[in-house]
Amino acid sequence: MGSPTSKDMALAVLVPLPLNVLTIIARFWIRTQRKAWGPDDWAMVATIPVWVVSQVGMIGMAWSGVGQLDSTLTPQQKANSNFEFWCFTLVALKWSLGFTLLRIGDGKKWVQGIIYGCLALVTICTGGTGMYLFFQCTPVEKNWWPETEGSCQPREIQTVLSFLVAAVSITTDWIFAMLPFGLIWKLQMGARVKASVIGLLGLGIFASIAPIVRLKYLLLMNDAAKFLQGLGIILAWAQAEVGIGLLVANLPACRPLLESAIAAFTSTISSKDKSKTGATSAAGKSSYLELGERDPTKKGNSMASRGGVETKVYGTYLGDGSNESLPQPANSQERIIQKQSQNQIHVQTEFGMEFENKQRGNSHHGPAGY
């Protein structure tokens, strides 16, 4: 294959690639085993094809001429150097991250408003920029073959849109990274669990570094003679954002494996403490909390359950020919457990009951409860 024409792009793609693949596999395996599949997992499934196409394109560009002066490249190299698909990958990744935050948002309206607002902004600005880059030339083939007769929009428009994409990425990365603090801090979870979830989701702050650095090089695209040379640096940082973003989206789901690995490396305790830790560890594995779940061992915990328990009381006719009898079975069903709101259930523990002994004159009427 030879050496890459843009080492920055080659490193930005190949370094995070193994970790991305491993975390994707681990995520799907854990969620399947725990039967905890959710919308964020479906969003990641939709992200994978877009991400694969982007990675293949980035690798091809890194070895085809990107990073070199335009005048030193052949027409074929120039054609192979104009395949930008990372915008669509970034949009799909943001949706997966957004659904992850919705999973722990507990149905709060203000959380849904913020997340859906960010996702709409990313989709319009970043996805719209990707569409513009594809259709900026007439005919479209001129994007890849500059010698083709036709016209393209000024490079300055692409530069302005690139600044917009970077600004939106930075803003949404910080919002998504800081939101877990407000969502998880008051949940009925152990301090260690809170710290791990907040830490994993807070890695989005590092993802925001890439678009910040990318801002420095965006003006290089205005120089037609050095367009592909500057594009190599810009796409390298764009790919770094995608690689880190994919890790941030997958790591919260991989928390059981991460906690097991950390426990294995930190098991340097005395034998007495080891026996206690062993019991605690075993309990910890069985009581592992998925995102959005509450710790049942915490006092004051009110777990919101979409299912519920329904108790039905049935009555039958008396068999002695008495005129007084219980209602029909279909009419005597009473729900003594009722869901009053999203996070509360009401249990009716008192009820009235009448019964009549078959021996005449020995009847009893009165309330009963438990």
Residue 345 is predicted with a pLDDT of: 56
Residue 51 is predicted with a pLDDT of: 93
Domain-wise residue ranges, the chain: 7-263, 306-370
Residue 314 is predicted with a pLDDT of: 47
Residue 24 is predicted with a pLDDT of: 95
Provide the strand spans (E) within the chain: 137-138, 151-152, 337-341, 344-347, 350-356, 363-369
Q: What is the amino acid identity at position 34?
A: R
State how far the Cα of 61 lies from the Cα of 364, in Å rounded to an integer. Answer: 89
Peptide bond into 39 cis (omega under 30): no
Low-confidence residues of the chain, pLDDT below 50? 270-272, 277-287, 294-319, 321-336, 360-361, 363-370
State how far the Cα of 52 lies from the Cα of 17, in Å rounded to an integer. Answer: 10
Q: Which CATH entry fits the domain spanning 7-263: 3.40.50, 3.30.700, 1.20.1070, 1.10.10?
A: 1.20.1070
State how far the Cα of 342 lies from the Cα of 242, in Å rounded to an integer. Answer: 37
Residue 120 is predicted with a pLDDT of: 96
Residue 346 is predicted with a pLDDT of: 55
Residue 287 is predicted with a pLDDT of: 43
pTM (two decimals): 0.67
Residue 310 is predicted with a pLDDT of: 46
H or E element that contains 102: helix 86-104
Residue 204 is predicted with a pLDDT of: 73
* b/e 113-129 (16+ beta carbons within 10 angstroms → b): ebbeebbeebeebbbeb
Coil/strand/helix, residue 266: coil
In a 13 Å sphere around the CA of 91, the CA atoms on its Cβ side amount to: 19
Residue 116 is predicted with a pLDDT of: 95
How far is the CA of 160 from the CAs of 131, 163, 164, 218, 225, in angstroms? 15, 5, 6, 9, 19
CA 142 to chain centre: 37
Residue 300 is predicted with a pLDDT of: 45
The residues with which 354 forms a beta bridge, in sequence order, are: 365
